[in-house]
Structure 1
């Protein structure tokens, strides 16, 4: 499990930008593969291309998910840790895919536009009243206009949510998945609202319909579907329990982890959870005892091997980690994050004889996933040790660009351009990064 800070401003549907900008993105090869597998049929049912829909795990304990510009679905860690089975998660995913299929990012202006016009009109009328000497009346008009604009926009978003609920139900039915998980999610959401003392008697001040309303509207639809009593897929649910255990071990405090997964629990999920908890607590031997049991259960499982190798590496046992991670890569030859972890181990060894293997691995990793800053960092270390300063600078520019560090990206892209032959692919890439970073810096200066 890796943590990447979400530094760029996000244009969210129905959520404030500032809320997501401070959150962290969690990246894990097994989890991302799982998201792809449980969503593929739903994405196809919505008429979308699975290659274009990206699922991203957000480190946030609340029960939530949302869509941003493009086809990006963000899923809160709290949604997974609170869910009982894979069907609940699929119900949420079907809903979020409904937002994408409905073009709600693109259609955002349809709700904001009329609301803005009402606000502007009230501003003009209020200004006229103030100019005529009726200051209090003018302010009252302005307040009423703002309330009307807000009400119109909220009504628009509630309508979008209701339509998306129905779209999600359609996608679930198309692929033969039960809506029980969707209903369970809305009931959990309602329970969370009760805990947070969110009023349940005024739908008109909300971006979403009341959870009780959504349950009432959807229950009849789902119960009439032939798939209503279809249980979750056993194989997918088994994978879900693994993911849930891993995530609880990573995000919860160790005493809580041990409470949820006591030593008496010898399931895969429990071994995962305790391995992370022990590792985070500074007990590497206890953590490795858990990963040893995992590897014994699945000697060829790349994700068991990945975690075993990660804990060995982060415990300073680099030489022991390398062969384990080589086995993991051999079992999952298209998992860029596992490749990056092995590349990191090879770089950490500082053995010149391993530099070529590390470079090949890391280049394969960025070819499959260019959006991992840590991969670019490791590749930059290799170039720097070799004395290839321009490409080391280019790798750093890629890393800083992904991290939202415009000054760092611009400075390193400029250094890379200075040492690369004009017109080559690397030079063109450095030039692109420099232009984008420079534009970001110019916009920042204008905002000051």
Structure 2
């Protein structure tokens, strides 16, 4: 697997150091104490959704599969651990042969989730499973937060196109992952070429204010852009006077001008004025694109505006106020010995601070009402009721260490559309509220 597919610099040989030191020190102690080979089950879940959110969106599963497959302790990584005296010799030897050989089940990418949903279940020896905690959580917490924000923006856009353009507002590697997650959540394109190259996401982009300011006149700038990119280009019309810029744009490109972009001012008012002016000039098919610190609420406020597309930057790549989903990776069951046939026993942390977990290897299903609309997220540890047997949510992702569920990004995107359609209509409301369906444990 090429590490470029993970959004990593090409000189990073593996994902093994995308971890916290205590994963390795736990491993060392478990190896020395004789418990490292006990069969174990870890689960990823969140105890609550970010405040005010009605549902979560699973994103990053494809990147998790790549990360697990690429989790290797090569000589350079082992040398670093040895030089820093992070783990002892026997642990280094164990790590040198590390290959995850267990099983992973999870919600497929693009699916929605709720508090308590077992989003990912990792099974194998304690030693091989515990090492994956940090890299799995870092991917799922980030990507799912971005996808949830994107999904809300998509709902607010009501079918109008959304462009992800937040690369300049986040870490360069996070920008690539954000573009991918936003695409799963409903965006249509990105300005980030690395995301287009690695994940096949459609890319767009024309010019910024700097291009207009470079030229002696706005007319010169527009003429140069049209000469280079054609009449179907998008001209940025708010560098100076919007009305004059629109008039100049149509004079140069004609009524075949592709679009104009508005990046400042009262977007609702300006969009109406620009639409009227374009129509009066005969450019009735010219689109209007708006940008300028948009979030889902700003997009919703423009529902009555004659806008054809929204460009969103900062708010989508930062999760629109919720940059993480607070997912955790907890041991929920383990064997009493290293015997492969030893039965699993439920285990769970008990806490007085709201961090209590529910032990046991879990299944999950979404129960529909008489109209086929979801009414509850049902989670259990025993036998799946017959009525829910064909409603189970977890799918097999890795079997015996081998990835068995890779899929095109378009599949995850389409799945998300179907998942939203199965939820009550109140899921699309932007007002603060509780999860749109309850979680039931049986």
TM-score range, shorter chain: under 0.3
Question: By percentage of residues, which structure has more helix?
Answer: 1
Tell which has more relative contact order, 1 or 2 (C-alpha 8 A, sep 6+). 2
TM-score of the superposition, structure 1-length normalised? 0.24
